[in-house]
């Protein structure tokens, strides 16, 4: 019989006394320690190394504090001041502020900041804008389109009929005339633009005009370049013909992981469809701690984002030129290599796996990248290229001069075949000078990495 006031607990644990002291089995504690150790090792990898995956970034000290707050376990289904739960008054204040800041930053009449990722934003937008069986046009994954634009991803989930744009490999963008012709022939419910490999602005105005001629809704996936758009350094899709723009909050926009849906439409019915597609369409809980973190990131970006975006693009262009000077095959030379945060390099024959081998060697030297398919590759796991991003390096204070130093590390590993462990030691010393997060509310000059 269990004494009054005492509850049974699982084997291996017990509660001692009234203060909640616990005893746990060594086996279960070891599982937790394994996770703690791996988290610490990951932090050390990025603190001492060069994080150059184009879809990643680090968050400010204030955002870090918010995403580990009590909000992480709370719910607030619905919209501000129209909730299904009690206890949401404080979060109503947070979300309403975030909506207003997003509308201000992007100069639009509609913003939803609830989505838990860029892909979820895409699923929600597709749900709002099309029915199963409808036609959609988008960039092929082989040409740099995101997997959510493909049958394997959100487009397939919504059972949409996909046609992909003819591609201009030299310019690394949809072929304008051929794509406009495709749109007019297919008359898709949605004409989707934007990519995962995203070097240059999309020729949106011409293609949006063709889409609107045949009654299509124009959707732009700005996940990778959302910060550059917000900073005025890429293009302005919602004022160039896009009706809806989705995006991620953790790439060039340097907030916590999550998503946005934005629209240029004043139509309340259209806006309601977008809101309903997020909740209840694709999200129940939408991770309040991340939403709150987005709100602070929005405020920081309004203060510092223009400089951050300009410096990110300048760094990417400097890095690309420095790689080319070292002897690397950098794509899109005729266009100045890049107008975004991304740089693409080719390291061998098509489908050779040279990109995968290069990424592995670089990681051994403390440089974190990702292999990537380039035009002509057909095998996702053995591509010829690398996709490189400079946004995290920019965030910790590197400039165009440092991009030359970074390119030299690449050359030592991949061209001169130097021992990666020796290069890693030099990378660590180099990175030790770039630990403080910039372009944010950080009066204490806090590090972006665990110490």
Q: Name the strands in the sheet holding 161-164, side by side, starting at the edge strand that comes first in the sequence.
A: 110-112, 254-263, 244-250, 217-221, 190-193, 135-138, 161-164
**Can you give the residue ranges of every domain in the chain?**
64-300, 305-431
At which residue do the structure tokens 């619905």 appear? 78
What is the distance, to the nearest Å, from the Cα of residue 215 to the centroid of all Cα atoms in its chain?
Answer: 30
Confidence at residue 451, expressed as pLDDT on a 0 to 100 scale: 61
At which residue do the structure tokens 């001492």 appear? 48
Assess contact for 94 and 100: CB atoms under 8 A.
Answer: no
Pick out the chain residues at pLDDT < 50.
1-10, 12, 15
Kindly report, residue by residue over 323-348, the tens digit of the pLDDT.
999 999 999 999 999 999 999 999 99
Confidence at residue 19, expressed as pLDDT on a 0 to 100 scale: 62
Using DSSP, state whether 155 is helix, strand or coil: helix
Confidence at residue 8, expressed as pLDDT on a 0 to 100 scale: 45
Assess contact for 340 and 225: CB atoms under 8 A.
Answer: yes
At which residue do the structure tokens 């001041």 appear? 81
Q: Please give the Cα distance from 121 to 141 (Å, whole number).
A: 18
What is the CATH code of the structural domain delimited by 305-431?
A: 3.90.1150.10
Domain 64-300 matches domain 305-431 at the CATH topology level = no
Instruction: List residues bridging with 23 in a β-sheet.
Output: 14
State which fold the 64-300 domain adopts.
3.40.640
């Amino acid at each position: 019989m269990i004494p009054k006031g005492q509850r049974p607990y699982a084997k291996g644990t017990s509660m001692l006394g009234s203060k909640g002291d616990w005893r746990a089995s060594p086996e279960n504690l070891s599982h937790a320690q394994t996770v703690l150790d791996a988290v610490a090792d990951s932090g050390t990898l990025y603190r001492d190394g060069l994080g150059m995956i184009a879809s990643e970034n680090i968050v400010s000290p204030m955002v870090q504090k918010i995403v580990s707050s009590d909000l992480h376990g709370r719910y607030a289904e619905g919209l501000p001041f129209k909730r299904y739960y009690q206890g949401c008054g404080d979060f109503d204040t947070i979300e309403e502020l975030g909506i207003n800041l997003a509308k201000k930053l992007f100069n639009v009449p509609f913003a939803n900041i609830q989505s838990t990722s860029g892909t979820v934003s895409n699923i929600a937008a597709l749900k709002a804008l099309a029915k199963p069986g409808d036609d959609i046009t988008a960039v092929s994954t082989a040409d740099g389109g995101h997997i959510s634009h493909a049958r394997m991803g959100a487009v397939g989930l919504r059972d949409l009929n996909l046609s992909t744009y003819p591609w201009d490999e030299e310019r690394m963008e949809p072929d304008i005339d051929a794509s406009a012709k495709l749109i007019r022939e297919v008359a898709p419910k949605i004409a989707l633009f934007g990519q995962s490999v995203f070097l240059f602005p999309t020729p949106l105005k011409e293609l949006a005009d063709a889409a609107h001629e045949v009654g299509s809704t124009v959707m732009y996936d700005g996940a990778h370049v959302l910060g550059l758009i917000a900073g005025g350094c890429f293009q302005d899709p919602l004022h160039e013909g896009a009706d809806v723009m989705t995006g991620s909050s953790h790439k060039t926009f340097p907030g916590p992981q999550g998503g946005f849906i934005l629209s240029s439409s004043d139509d309340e019915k259209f806006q309601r469809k977008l809101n309903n597609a997020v909740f209840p369409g694709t999200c129940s809980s939408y991770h309040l701690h991340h939403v709150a973190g987005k709100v602070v990131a929005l405020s920081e970006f309004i203060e510092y984002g223009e400089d951050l975006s300009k410096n990110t693009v300048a760094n990417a262009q400097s890095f690309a030129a420095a790689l080319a000077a070292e002897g690397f095959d950098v794509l899109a030379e005729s266009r100045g290599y890049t107008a975004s945060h991304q740089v693409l390099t080719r390291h061998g024959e098509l489908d050779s796996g040279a990109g995968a081998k290069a990424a592995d060697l670089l990681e051994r030297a403390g440089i974190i990248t990702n292999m990537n398919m380039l035009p002509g590759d057909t095998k996702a796991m053995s591509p010829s290229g690398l996709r490189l991003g400079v946004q995290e390096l920019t965030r910790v204070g590197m400039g165009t001069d440092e991009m030359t130093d970074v390119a030299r590390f690449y050359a030592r590993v991949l061209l001169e075949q130097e021992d990666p462990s020796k290069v890693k030691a030099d990378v660590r010393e180099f990175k030790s000078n770039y630990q403080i997060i910039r372009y944010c509310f950080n009066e204490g000059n806090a590090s972006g990495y665990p110490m």
